[in-house]
Amino acid sequence: MSEIRNPLEIYAALAKINCGQCGVPSCLAFAAAVLQGQKKLAACPALASEVVAQLSRRLVPRRTLEDDSQQVIRQLRQEVAGLDFSLVAPRLGARLVEGNLVINCLGKDFLLTPSGEMLSDCHLNHWIYVPLLHYVLLCQGSEPQGEWVPYGSLPGAVEWSQWFSHRCEEALRQLADAHRELVFELLHLFGAKPVAMSGGADHALLILPLPRVPFLINYWEPEDGFPSKLNILLDRSAGKNINAQSINLLARGIIEMFRQLILRHSREGKLF
């Protein structure tokens, strides 16, 4: 029995009346949602039970991003479980509290148990969880030296550099252009400190997503017809304390967090 790979195979079995009772506006959209694992065949009231059973046998569950993230987290937690936290804490710049690691991330404390379970007052998601676990496993304890370099120059960052430029630096620039005061208020709220740099940026802020992984955010405001600019630089030591993919996730997590906060607190209730 062949696996269903095309939503049209599901659509062919539907009534094609676009009644919307399944929760999506059309039968074709429903077929696509079923194939992607977002809807169950039984959600269609016009589909006979025997047809549901027949089609279900040919459907293979699709893995979601959440599935992949949870698998990575489970694997990393197993690796963390083998560490001696009393030896690990000093190189991480973390505290040891009743046998647990307490790591400060963006001014907020995250507690990591010996089994790899993470607890915090903040919302936990893969943007934070995965980089924190990688930091615990990989950090060599290298102290920042104040040598600021572009993300792409870090070990293993080449394949991620375009993503970082577009989804992190450019995304933050657009947010700063549209909500300048709110974005910089948020940065300060999460512990960013202004620094004096020679690059001439209108705003240069040092922020600590992790104790030994500082970010330097430089923003030039638009002026005389010239567009704004923004870059995010890393201390060269970051390459010894975490991997490039986790830096990417951390930066992306900051952007997503700011997006949600802006939607909640901006006057218009929208991003742009």
DSSP state string for 3-35: PP--HHHHHTTS------TTSSSSHHHHHHHHH
In the chain, ranges of CATH 1.10.15.40 domains: 7-56
pLDDT in tens, 173-209: 999 999 999 999 999 999 999 998 767 899 999 999 9
CA angle 266, 270, 271 (to 5 degrees): 95
CATH (residue range 7-56): 1.10.15.40
pLDDT in tens, 65-102: 566 778 889 999 999 998 999 999 999 999 999 999 99
The CA distance from 272 to 270, in Å, is 6
Cα atoms found within 13 Å of the Cα of residue 18, Cβ hemisphere only: 4
What distance, in Å, lies between the first and last C-alpha atoms of the chain?
49
The CA distance from 258 to 260, in Å, is 5
Q: Which residues contact 31 (CB under 8 A, 6 or more apart)?
A: 7, 8, 10, 11, 14
Question: What pLDDT tens digit does each residue of the chain (272 aa) get?
Answer: 688 888 899 999 999 999 988 988 899 999 988 988 888 999 999 999 999 999 998 988 666 656 677 888 999 999 999 899 999 999 999 999 999 999 999 888 999 999 999 998 877 777 888 999 999 999 999 999 999 999 999 999 999 999 999 999 999 999 999 999 999 999 999 999 999 876 789 999 999 999 999 999 999 999 988 999 999 999 999 999 999 999 999 999 999 989 988 888 766 666 66
The whole-number pLDDT of residue 66 equals: 65
Give the 3-state secondary structure of residue 242: coil
Take residue 201 and report the two structure tokens written for it.
């940026």
Return the number of other C-beta atoms located less than 10 Å from residue 203's C-beta. Answer: 18
Side chain identity at residue 256, one-letter code: E
The CA distance from 2 to 265, in Å, is 50
